[in-house]
Amino acid sequence: MIAPLVSLLTTSFAATLAAGALTTPASAAVAEPPRPAFYEAPATLPATDGAVIRSERMTFLLDPLDATSLVRDARRVLYRTTDRTGQPIAVSGTVLVPRSSWIGVGSRPVIGYAPGTQGMADRCAPSRQFSEGIEYEGIGIEGLLLRGYAVAMPDYEGLGTAGVHTYMDRVSQGHATLDVVRAAQRLPDTGLSPSSPVGIMGYSQGGGAAASAVELASTYAPDLKVRGAVVGAVPADLSRVATSLDGGLYSAFAFFALRGLSASYDVDLTPYLNAQGRATSDRVETECVFDLLDHAFVRSSTLSADGQPMSTLMQQEPFRSIVEAQRIGTIKPTVPVLVTHSAIDDVIPYAVGRAMARSWCSKGANVYLSTNLAPGHVGGIVPQTAEALPFFEARFAGLPQVSNCWLV
């Protein structure tokens, strides 16, 4: 699930840091509750992206008795990645590996699974919620684990770790997704290695992160043996998504995006929000996706200082440039991509996903757009999950994807 001053150049991240030094996270507007010590980054980070800082065993609850722990090696990891500006940061995540031996050809594949919207608070991080039995992505990854694939899932920048979660930051999310796969391959006693074939998958916010990851993979992580990606309901154009969300059931997603991107780009929102808007911005920073009904049907115009909706704000600088920088579809993926989207998606317009696929096609990418009629945004994850399994089976077997770009 998802989603969506002055000069853009006046940002606090402009100071150049030493390669291994810890970048100061995007500062939180509200005090963050104490987090488990595991999630605290060391003063100095490892030198390479994907390097594991620490790991620990975790429970992985898909049932009240946690029977899954008998067949799954579940670990939470803290690893190095880079933020949007290329500075090193620590991000947490989850690595799940079936205990049974891999019986397929070659080494066990790893799926870099980008999670959908979790919220903004540290307590929302999937690596924490898995152990509480309330992580909804557990259902989506079960089929992958049953097939024998390992799954590596990022928490994203600032989600679980210090600072603000930079929700909808295209580059940060893509980097975190690629680097959690690298981290999984470097964990000892998992049977995984840098030669393991890799798939990338995500839906909604996760679809955006996965789509960004597959765009960036050939340049940011050429060492990964990426064979293909499955991306669903991708928020590829945040300006159009924001208009769709405004005043609807999922208004909170737009507020998450405004708060997350303003943190990533060091933009002070105070001049643009009224008192209610500032209170809402602070409040969403403390919430998880399960709190979204608290903001249902709230129109952004009631939160702005000038009474204009968020869509109008996004047409002004620096927001216009920031939003445009998050557009997905501008870089050609070098591996086959399956794009799924419900034609009746009520959160991320189908036209947005189709436009992204068409843009990739125009660049010569191997794309298959699978349109479905699943009920709304939430329903769309069901056909995506069903289609992902045969897609990855074929890619890991070395079979080609037949593109349908001529129909897109």
**Ordered structural domains, the chain, with CATH:** 20-235+331-407 (3.40.50.1820), 238-324 (1.10.260.130)
- Based on DSSP, count helices (H) and strands (E) in the chain, helices before strands: 12, 9
| DSSP collapsed to 3 states, 175-209 | HHHHHHHHHHHHCCCCCCCCCCEEEEEEECHHHHH
> Listing from the earlier edge strand, what are the strands of the sheet with 150-154?
52-57, 72-82, 88-98, 150-154, 110-114, 197-203, 225-232, 337-342, 367-372
367 pLDDT more than 50: yes
pLDDT, residue 139, reads 79
- 241-280: pLDDT as tens digits: 999 999 999 999 999 999 999 999 999 999 999 999 999 9
67 or 384: which leads in pLDDT: 384
- The larger pLDDT score, comparing residue 225 to residue 3, is at 225
Long-range contacts of 140-143 (CB under 8 A, 24+ apart): 140/113, 140/203, 140/381, 140/385, 141/96, 141/111, 141/113, 142/62, 143/385, 143/388, 143/389
What's the whole-number average pLDDT of the chain?
Answer: 90
Decide: pTM greater than 0.85: yes
pLDDT at 9 > cutoff 90: no
Q: Is the pLDDT of residue 400 over 90?
A: yes
Give the pairing of strands 88-98 and 150-154: antiparallel
What local confidence, expressed as pLDDT, does residue 131 receive?
82
317: confidence class by pLDDT, cuts 50, 70, 90: very high
In the predicted model, what is the mean pLDDT of residues 2-25? 34
Concatenating the DSSP letter of every residue in 198-242 gives EEEEEETHHHHHHHHHHHHHHHH-TTSEEEEEEEES----HHHHH
Residue 374 scores a pLDDT above 90: yes
Q: Is the dihedral of CA 109, 114, 118, 119 positive or negative?
A: positive
* DSSP conformational letter for 91: E
Q: What is the pLDDT of residue 69?
A: 65
